Chains A and B, each alone.
Chain A
Amino acid sequence: MIEDLPPLMGIETEYGIIRENAEDSDPVEESMALLKASDALSVFGAWSYRFENSHQDLRGFRVRSLAQDEEEDEFCEQDRERPYSYHDMKCDRTLSNGARFYNDHTHPEYSTPECNDLFQLVAHDIAGEHIVARAAELRNKALGGPHVQLFKNNTDYVGHSYGTHDNYMVARDVPFESIVSALVSFLVTRQLYAGSGKVGYEGRNESFSGLQLAQRSDFIESILSIETMTQRPIINTRDESHAGKEFRRLHLILGDANMSAYATALKVGATRLALGLVAAGEAPVLELEDPVADVKKISRDLTGRASLRLKSGKTITALEVQEAFCEAAQRCYAGKSEELNWVVSEWARTLSELKHAPEKLADRIDWAIKADLFQGFMEEESLDWDDPWLKSLDLEYHNLDPERGLYRGLEQEGRVLSLFKESEISEAVDNPPQGTRAWIRGNMVRYYTNDIQSIHWTGMKLKDDSVIDLTELTDPDAVEQWMNSNKEQWIWK
């Protein structure tokens, strides 16, 4: 059973950025300046796009181009007039912790190194917050004040969304159709604990007043699609494995950026187990009649009791879908390891608390933290959900500035659950995850910075034209074997 679990996972987060002392904050200029300000130990500008393949579809075809809306088309036209090359605007940094920090569609993006341990991954996701915030601190020092602000969220409340993608390495011999038929109901309902909460609504959906479970749900418009900037799907079909031919990378773009480490751990941990259940043929198959509509329906009901129609004609609640997956995961994974025990027990506990005592989630699940915080504030200030102040508070919850961010404030007061010691996050800021190919990448960046000509998830080319190919190093044994075979050549201390 453990062998069915995805061996590697990663999280990509696009951050919101704004310069407050400029009348029209220019995201291209600000994002470039932020990346240039970063003092993270890294190789700059050497990312190899030769290995990127975002046009290949998992369903067996290749698309000629990816779509974006008219507004973005116009922006891209304007960008072509700027005195910068594509690579200038990307400002790629590959970091000594194995991560990638760069600009993606004008958003500073931190992509964690690929990890084989859940808590290793969550620590690296939080490390990303620290690295981005440090770059903002340096940028603001140069500007003479706290003018540039960074937000770990997914919306600007007027229809522009940017992503937080969770990625899982999945064996290619698991039929894609099996993944779709079982996983869709899991994915549309995991927002019960993975949603980071959003005030109001966006898009062409029916209007809504109040707090939604998730930021991203208004933007999900299809079940399957290779697109990421429009017609966003429940399951993205981009076939870009960054690994050998026996694997695919499941690239999930429907999720939110979580400020709560606990929520991130539960989201990724439960999704990994759901994928293991699919691979083992143990996943509940609860096919929804209209999952795209259900994403929004579930997001607008904080109780988890939204009624969903199955293809069979029966109905089921969002909570019941999650309970079915959680029970299957308990049967298959309880007692297998400490990490798996943590996931199945916290998953069950969260669903139970949502059902019986949702107020208990107010220290660990982002939407519930917001609900508690904002309701108290609304009472204090006699506001209702339509007051614009609520959206501003919602935005500020995600601000990385320790002096301003509301989640940061809650952390400082000890009101939210912390999974890590400061020293563990510092370790992840500087060091790559052990037992992964990212360990090799990160240490090459640290000790051979000036020798690297180009670099990618799957390897690197050195200035003497030699190549280090990490494509097949997907498990700790393979990594150790590689390190033993190369210990005379590369000295990492």
Chain B
Amino acid sequence: MEMNDPKRKEERREAEPDQGDGGPSSPKTERPGRDSILKRMKRVDPKQSERYKQRTGQ
């Protein structure tokens, strides 16, 4: 499995034409789903972590 295969780079270039530094490209920055992730965060029960009890592992 190769990260830098030309096919993959080609796909990235098509999706994100503004990235040109050769590394993995950042997703678009305008954050189209900002409201959606905020809604998901608002649905999180504020007390959830207090009920989350685990046993020690390694």
Contact = CB atoms under 8 A, between A and B. Distances in A.
B44 A393 contact: yes
Nearest to A120: B1
Nearest to B21: A349
Nearest to B43: A404
A410 B4 contact: no
Contacts of B55: 27, 72, 75, 105-107, 160, 162
A389 B48 CA distance: 8
Interface string A110-143: 0000000101100100000000000000000000
Contact of B27 (A71, A339, A345, A416): A416
A392 B40 CA distance: 12
Contacts, number: 153
A326 interface: no
A391 interface: yes
B50 A388 contact: yes
A393 B9 CA distance: 34
A107 B1 contact: no
Contacts of A393: 41, 44
A414 B28 contact: yes
Given A119-B1, A162-B54, A424-B1, A360 B47 contact: no
Given A72-B56, A107-B57, A413-B32, A338 B3 contact: yes
Contact of B40 (A71, A104, A406): A406
A68 B56 contact: yes
A342 B9 CA distance: 13
Which of B3, B22, B37, B55 neighbours the largest number of chain A CB atoms within 10 Å of its CB?
Answer: B55
A93 interface: no
Nearest to B5: A338
A253 interface: yes
B37 A406 contact: yes
Interface string B1-32: 11110000000000000000111111110011
Contact of A229 (B31, B34, B58): B58
A419 B43 CA distance: 29
